[in-house]
Chains A and B, each alone.
Chain A
Amino acid sequence: MGVCGAVIRGVGLRVGAVLLLAGIWWAVAAAHVWPEVFVPSPGSVWDQLFLTSSVRDGQRGYSGHLLHEHLLASLRRIGLGSLYGVAGGIALGLVIGLVPTVRALLGPLVTFVRTLPPLAYFSLLIIWFGIDETPKVTLLFVAALPPVAVATAEAVRGVHEDYLHAARSLGARRWQLPFQIVLPSALPEVITGIRVAVGVAYTTVVAAETVNGVPGIGGMIRDAQRYNQTDVVILGLLVIGASGLLIDALLQLTARLLVPWRGKA
């Protein structure tokens, strides 16, 4: 089978799986085993997709915003939080990996923050920063930082000493090593850390949007839950999940382009 055939097969399998799940869902809903408020039919979720994406009787989408506005607001928070988290995590991981004293000081702190459920410190962030964008982005930043920091620190400590020796013998100064050798050779693990971090930001965004979260998919889901609009809740879940899949695929593609030597050297 050629490459083309393999691609078609892969896509076919995925589409098949989705259709199968949708079919089961439809069958369960149509059987009316549970009331519509627990298990809405695929049809009503599908209808909500259009209702929330259009302006009708002067009402804009859901909770005053169109679906894509909710999504973009959430993506913006995820993007900013991940960006700061990744930048901070790489810097922190580099220092933790390179300086034993810093490792002893900050290592336990990073682990401590990593084990905290984001909602636990969200209250604190609201007290500090109010209820606008700042606490939300800060929450995602704090959630996204530890995975990158831990992955970077581990990778930095794992750099083979012969790479450092080779660079020094080629005339690199000690201060040049972190950027010339350590970070590039840690890149594969750092990128894995970034993927984990973006995933964490994704799972945290709905929590961040429980307070003053409109526009935002989390805010939309929360409002829908108040009015028992289960179909909108499910639509929100599907939209956030689908966009997450897309972003992760993009990150994987970037990783392949940036780290073509992964698993080969």
Chain B
Amino acid sequence: MRSPDEPLAVRLSGVSLVYGSRGRFPRRGGNPVEALRDIDATVGIGEFVTIVGPSGCGKSTLLRLVAGFAFPTGGQVAVSGVPVTGPGPDRGVVFQQPRLFPWLSVRRNVEFGPRMAGMPAVRRRERAAELLELVGLSDSAGRRPYELSGGMQQRAAIARALAPDPAILLMDEPFAALDALTRERLQEEIRGIWQTTGKTVLFVTHSVDEAVYLGTRILVLSRRPGRLVLDQASDLPLASDPHTHPAFTSVRETIAAAVRRSASDEEVT
């Protein structure tokens, strides 16, 4: 149990979101849709928290609330103790699609954040080189995003998100669109990046395996309206190879069961 005054990366207090109930998300000709209901959760500094749940459960929506792309209709989202009022360079975001800027080279994509922060050109270039090295793209710095494979584009997107040195990395099903082999390799790499940089990571996925492999804490959301049905700590990601760790199967089974229960209609406690 955490003490209340321990510094937190993210605190969600009673977060609810109903689309169509306010002018911000006008829904024509439909009833309000309740996406998230009364979610209380915290993310400690340096944790790798994965959010898993059936599709349409609002897990991506939850991440977007933390990113500041949308705002809850009830409750509060606080990052580093401060209520979220919009997006900011303290929270790096990696989307399901890499969303690299096609008009910039890979290096200039990574430099975008530092450039916005007013970092001088020489330091910017060093920073980009450092991060491209970290994600294994040093040789592709001068290429355009569309010249890279999907996996390489997602690596570049991770480097770009890390460039402003955010406190938290928010990842929205970042590997869902990749083939199985590339996905596995990137899962391994993001675990390595988390271990070397010590960043706090909030990672949304629909894959139980991925959630268990990566998460030091695994949050399970129910189907819509999304409620928190399980908050499970795990030390698997710290093992040298989580997949072969004896506890992997049992943690995996716990999470999978919670996801299965939440996907059916029965109430979960």
Contact = CB atoms under 8 A, between A and B. Distances in A.
A170 B160 contact: yes
A170 B112 contact: yes
A260 B103 CA distance: 8
Given A162-B97, A184-B101, A185-B103, A168 B86 contact: yes
Contact of B92 (A160, A162, A169): A169
A166 B117 CA distance: 14
Given A184-B103, A185-B101, A170 B144 contact: no
B102 interface: yes
Contacts of A181: 101
Contacts, number: 72
A163 B103 CA distance: 12
A176 interface: yes
Given A162-B99, A166-B99, A184-B101, A171 B146 contact: no
Contacts of B145: 261, 265
A176 B87 CA distance: 14
Contact of A264 (B93, B146, B160): B146
Nearest to A264: B146
Interface residue SS majority, chain B: loop
Contacts of B144: 260-261
The range of chain B's interface size is 20 to 34
A172 interface: yes
B122 interface: no
A165 interface: yes
Interface residues of A, number: 24
A129 B102 CA distance: 44
Contact of B117 (A162, A165, A171, A185): A171
Given A187-B103, A265-B146, A171 B89 contact: yes
Interface residue SS majority, chain A: helix
Contacts of A185: 101-103
Interface in A147-179: 160-163, 165-173, 176
B87 A165 contact: yes
B103 A167 contact: no
Contact of B95 (A162, A167, A173, A259): A162
Given A162-B97, A260-B144, A264-B146, A169 B103 contact: no
Contact of A169 (B88, B97, B100, B102): B88
Interface string A227-265: 000000000000000000000000000000001110011
B237 interface: no
A170 B113 contact: yes
Contact of B89 (A163, A169, A259): A169
Given A171-B117, A261-B145, A165 B163 contact: no
25 contacts: A161-B69, A163-B99, A166-B160, A167-B112, A167-B116, A168-B86, A168-B88, A169-B67, A169-B68, A169-B87, A169-B161, A170-B89, A170-B113, A170-B116, A170-B160, A170-B161, A171-B89, A171-B113, A171-B116, A173-B116, A184-B101, A187-B103, A260-B144, A261-B146, A265-B100
Interface of A: 160-163, 165-173, 176, 180-181, 184-185, 187, 259-261, 264-265
